[in-house]
A and B are shown apart, each in its own frame.
Chain A
């Protein structure tokens, strides 16, 4: 368990292994009252809406931002843990990339007797009223990757900021501490975009002040768009030495361009997320590296906490403080990508 402010970056296999140990820790923390509270008069835990009446099935749902490899892998991790409980009905819902759809789905789940809602909020403020409404109904909300301004049961996120700083450090080393870099970015208005960008920019300034960031262009998280954007950047800056895509899809788009223009091996390209296509590209000596997070494990952490909240007689409506899990990560390069096991690839 770590708080964002005081967490330090971890590298190497140790970080991945540590991730594997944290799921039970999350559950233990939850059961110890981290995510809940005790009735001071009776000394007994305050029950959630669902807390387990005998024989009753418990509903849980995950409202994703939109279909993508990351929420799909979260959902697999969540389903894996919840599936062992035998009393939990779980469903994955599509927010269609729209806050108004996510709000409507939250309302539907609240009315439908759901016990725990996993949420990947599109916006931290816009979903806050819905989270407050869920809390009033005794429903635990666990956010993934993007936090909400309304305190809730727990938040489990990738280490966007420090991971991006670490990408900058490793990338700068691969570039020999000098040269020009372009960022292929997400559209504005998303917190993780800012964390992944600011971490990278500040990491470069801190570790490699000799490297110049010459372009920061929006490529919509998209591989094809990234190809077009990078071609334009290369026309203006033919001596570009490095590309950072704030997700792997855009970094792989940069790899496509590098292949086409014969720049593979001459240009350092990093992504972020660690999806299996990116790992395969690193193994093929195309992509230089990426920040890998075990997203299955991230889902398992969230599900472990949810299970305790829903069936462990822990309150969802009287939280002293919001639980927070910051995922360990690995800066995967050709040197260490082999450490990531097939069942950890998503």
Chain B
């Protein structure tokens, strides 16, 4: 269990960065900006939550961007090519994403492929499948037609927080996007699952030491598949939110977004060596990246410098993770009397 100080490091750093941009970036501290931040990064936060599960098990899911595109294209095809109503599309979309995750999990457990190779292969395969089933190619005139089904576009809804709290005329608060509330709901559900159930404790145990977990009777294979399934499910939820925001889907949707999700999870405290991390950290990591990118854009900083800074933040997070691991190893060694105090 990490110490209180190490658990507070990220939230304090996040608040410090937020405060700095509020002070120096023009128009940053505005209701509209926070609304954009919530709407623009909610789906990435959900992807980061999903990505946290394979990372917790010393794995990785490189295919989340491709799963997102696959689910997005399924929604596009079902809605525009086949006229399926949105209420029927939504469960199908979640099912497609979850199944894609299950396939990843089976490749890792049954075929015993390394998670990197397995999900790299599925990244290519799922992306290829997106092109193969693309309604935009099969029926080209659909490529300029938006999805209008309210069951889907309804996810791009905003709530007037100022009015709800009865603060009209007192303060202008950002409108809260439904996608952000869904992010909070997803966080709550999976946090409870991870922190307060046997399932979650077993996942931490597998991430800490898979062999010891197996010897302790934990169904390592089954839980590994479940972790990748959750990652796929989260990609499906993210796809629904993104399609609602764009009113369409494209073959290239979510390309490269797996790296952002991985970065958010690592910045949030999930160690690539497995066994540690909290989902709230992944969400904070997501919004930290969002704040930096939006703030630097508003300051007119070159996009190339933005990418360098994002890389540096990731480097600091990984460096911090490495330091924590080394410190823990040293403390363990001291406790065992292998190193002089």
Contact = CB atoms under 8 A, between A and B. Distances in A.
Given A128-B247, A149-B146, A99 B40 contact: no
A125 B144 contact: yes
A217 interface: no
A149 B26 CA distance: 32
B331 interface: no
B255 A129 contact: no
Given A91-B300, A111-B27, A126-B247, A97 B252 contact: yes
B83 to A, nearest CB: 18
Given A126-B248, A194-B140, A108 B39 contact: no
B252 A125 contact: no
B62 to A, nearest CB: 17
Contacts of A98: 252, 255-257
Nearest to B33: A111
Interface string A280-317: 00000000000000000000000000000000000000
B146 A107 contact: no
B209 interface: no
B131 A188 contact: yes
B191 to A, nearest CB: 25
B242 interface: yes
A264 interface: no
B40 A189 contact: no
Interface string A170-200: 0000000000000000011101001000000
A113 B255 contact: no
A233 B95 CA distance: 40
Contacts, number: 98
B247 A189 contact: no
A122 B252 contact: yes
A294 B131 CA distance: 33
Main DSSP-derived SS at the A contact region: mixed
B179 interface: no
Given A94-B303, A112-B26, A113-B27, A129 B256 contact: no
B194 to A, nearest CB: 27
B143 interface: yes
A309 to B, nearest CB: 21
Interface string B274-305: 00000000000000000001100110100110
B253 interface: yes
A107 B36 contact: yes
Nearest to A127: B246
A139 to B, nearest CB: 13
A316 to B, nearest CB: 18
A103 interface: yes
B254 A100 contact: yes
A81 B7 CA distance: 52
A215 interface: no
7 A-B pairs with the lowest CB-CB distances in the bound complex, closest first: A94-B303, A126-B246, A107-B36, A125-B248, A111-B32, A104-B40, A189-B251
Interface of A: 89, 91, 93-94, 96-100, 103-105, 107-108, 110-113, 122-126, 128-129, 149, 187-189, 191, 194
Given A98-B252, A98-B256, 16 more contacts: A93-B297, A93-B303, A100-B253, A103-B40, A103-B246, A104-B293, A111-B33, A113-B27, A122-B252, A123-B250, A124-B143, A125-B146, A125-B246, A126-B246, A126-B250, A187-B252
